[in-house]
Structure 1
Amino acid sequence: MSKATLDAPAKEEEKVSPFLKMVLELGPLVVFFFANSRGEWLASHFPVLSEMGGPIFIATGLFMAATAIALVVSWVLTRTLPMMPLISGLVVFVFGALTLWLQNDTFIKMKPTIVNTLFGAILLGGLFFGKSLLGYVFHAAFKLTDEGWRKLTLRWGLFFIVLAVMNEVVWRNFSTDFWVAFKVWGTMPITILFTLSQMPLIMRHSLEQPEENKTP
């Protein structure tokens, strides 16, 4: 497969505004939070939703629908589905379906643990076999040295494991409402701060753009 073919999805993604990307990524979480906090109101105004169960189950159903919509819109705009959102979406559908079917919110609460552990294991496992897999995900956004990709992959791998542990601690020791709020207003800011904290490493190990690719 040629480099042009590999870069085609990345070029399509560049056409999507950063604001729209943020909406597609955070939108389902906001829907989840709103539906959980206003579950009774939604059930009273839309009786069909009450058949799902209490607020957390209504939130789970709407979270699944919002995730599906976000993936479809992403595909329509870019003709590609980023690997991490795709895997996360599949886990949402599986664990969300189990949550609704068995009327047990443990499944949807374990979803972040499963996803983050999976990402962490993949990244750290790749390093064990000498592969900096993060480079395959973000090659279109950053051009780093091999050492840079190794360090960044290690940090993200460990960060995903930390997120998994945090999710387990919160959902097992606090109320459902607190867990939902932490998932939206705790995990996302922490992830953003961690991402920003990696910029010095990215700058140190960035490769200069070849002269022929630079714009005049």
Structure 2
Amino acid sequence: MTEPRKINPWLKSALEFGPLVLFFVTFMRMRDKTVTLGGTEYSGFIFATLVFIPVLVLTTLALWRLTGKLSPMQIATLVLVIVFGGLSVWLNDPRFFKMKPTIIYLIFAGLLGLSLVLRKNWLGLVMSEALPMSAQGWHILTQRMAVLFLGLAVANEIVWRSMSETAWVNFKTFGLPLLMVVFFVLNSKLFERHALPKDGE
């Protein structure tokens, strides 16, 4: 198996989070405006989506070119952004793009749940390089992450269906990543308790 090539962590972060930041900035500048393209009027949200899609494609391809590898989540995100973002632009309907995080999180919750049923360590295959842990540790983390993704899917549905577009964009840009960070911080004891010994220990 080919090892991913190392790149500057700042460059990696810029490529991973840059498209989302650009979407946020574009939306905030255009949210009260309309843009006419090809004789059709688009809201600021749809225009921000239209900007976001090709930028995400380019940055994902750049990551793949620089590292030689993409994670399953990056691939799934790219495909669903193209599909659901493309539908939002094509049909001039923001609901499809807002549903995209729900679909992503349900897919991952389902895959993690299936791995538990089949007694397979799929999460460990993806994350073991960053978090070397025992089989028991991966089993516990898989259970917790399945619940996390299910909860995030429900939260996304509640926010986009009951709140304003600005509230959803803020939730998407800052709330969802923050919840993921908090989740891993709260599980730090699990990582310590089930960490595999390093070479020489």
SS at match of 2:42: coil
Task: State the alpha-carbon separation in 1 of the partners of residues 185 and 114 from structure 2.
Answer: 24
- Cα distance 1:72–1:43, how it changes in 2: closer, same or farther (>3 A)? farther
Superposed CA deviations along residues 37-60 of structure 1, whole A, max 9, x for unmatched, are 11269977xx75995711011111
**% identical aligned pairs:** 34
Match of 2:17 among 26, 29, 38: 26
Superposed CA deviations along residues 58-99 of structure 1, whole A, max 9, x for unmatched, are 111111112112211101111111111110110000001110
Q: What is the letter of the counterpart of residue 19 of structure 1? A: W
Are the aligned partners of 1:29 and 1:184 in contact in 2 as well (CA < 8 Å)?
Answer: yes
Partner of 2:145: 156
SS at match of 1:53: strand
- Cα distance 1:112–1:185, how it changes in 2: closer, same or farther (>3 A)? same
SS at match of 1:140: coil
Are the aligned partners of 2:34 and 2:41 in contact in 1 as well (CA < 8 Å)?
Answer: no
SS at match of 1:171: helix
Q: Which has the higher helix share?
A: 1
> Within 5 A, what are the aligned runs for 1:47-66?
53-66=42-55
Task: State the alpha-carbon separation in 2 of the partners of residues 52 and 67 from structure 1.
Answer: 23
Unaligned runs of 5+ in 1: none
Superposed CA deviations along residues 121-166 of structure 1, whole A, max 9, x for unmatched, are 1011111111121101112112111000101111111111111000
Q: What is the TM-score of this pair, normalised by structure 1?
A: 0.86
Displacement of 1:110 in angstroms is 0.2
Task: State the alpha-carbon separation in 1 of the partners of residues 39 and 23 from structure 2.
Answer: 16
Displacement of 1:19 in angstroms is 2.1
Are the aligned partners of 2:16 and 2:60 in contact in 1 as well (CA < 8 Å)?
Answer: no
> Within 5 A, what are the aligned runs for 1:1-216?
5-6=1-2, 8-9=3-4, 12=5, 15-39=6-30, 53-211=42-200
Larger mean CA deviation between 106-115 and 180-189 belongs to: 180-189
Are the aligned partners of 2:134 and 2:196 in contact in 1 as well (CA < 8 Å)?
Answer: yes
Task: State the alpha-carbon separation in 2 of the partners of residues 93 and 188 from structure 1.
Answer: 20
Pairwise CA RMSD: 2.1
Q: What is the letter of the counterpart of residue 131 of structure 1? A: K
- Cα distance 1:163–1:50, how it changes in 2: closer, same or farther (>3 A)? farther
How many residues are aligned here? Answer: 201
Unaligned runs of 5+ in 2: none
Displacement of 1:21 in angstroms is 2.3
Are the aligned partners of 2:32 and 2:44 in contact in 1 as well (CA < 8 Å)?
Answer: no
Are the aligned partners of 1:24 and 1:74 in contact in 2 as well (CA < 8 Å)?
Answer: yes
